[in-house]
Amino acid sequence: MNGGNELEKKVKIAVMVSGGGTNLQAILDAEKSGILRSGKVSLVLSNKASAYALERAKNAQVETAVILRKDYASQREYEDAMIDLFTQKGIDLIVLAGFMNILSSHFTDTYPKRIINVHPSLIPAFCGEGFYGLRVHRAALDYGVKVTGATVHFVNEIPDGGEIIAQKAVEILPGDTPEILQRRVMEQAEWILLPQALETVSKSYC
């Protein structure tokens, strides 16, 4: 009986994905290991039907959904479809984990301080519109910085512009390529920082 009550108290989390879902996997693993205790991944939503992240969710017995931008006449209608789904499912927190679609203020204002994102740099460096994936790491290497990392932040209508929740630094090493650096930032920062930050935010809403 107590276990059921504890489960009911958990913050319901939706994770929005577009690709392979490595950050989603880090969250699911953190839930299994007990790092994420105050929240539960209740839904994984993708804007791509072929996203491997959906398979990761299914393997973890997490409900999935696909909402495609092309099925809607406008960005607002597309976002309303997502908002309607999250309302229907009772979602409390949203995580953007490699979701490759800019959300408007209509969406972000609906969930003030309830959407979090992980970005593969130390914001305010190498962030904002156009900085995603390998582009971020290539820019860091081209600029010659010695330290990079990852940032978890709240999401507002400005790309990578919301309040910072947590950051973790990662050293850049001689011989790094964008691909090598991307992997190190994921392993040493993103996959550690995101679940920890998600637990902190979830706990504050319990």
> pLDDT, tens digit, for every residue of 104-138?
999 999 999 999 999 999 999 999 988 988 999 99
Set 106, 119, 137, 153: catalytic member? 119
Which pLDDT score, from 0 to 100, does residue 8 have? 55
Crossing angle of helices 134-143 and 178-185, in 10° steps, is 110
**pLDDT for position 101:** 86
The CATH number assigned to the domain with range 2-205 reads 3.40.50.170
Question: Which residues are CB-contacts of 8 (< 8 A; sequence separation ≥ 6)?
Answer: none
Amino acid at 17: V
Cβ distance 21 to 48 under 8 Å? no
CA distance 25 to 81: 25
Q: What DSSP designation does 47 have?
A: S
List the chain residues with pLDDT less than 70.
1-8, 206
Q: Tell me, what's the pLDDT at 11? A: 96
119: annotated active-site residue:
yes
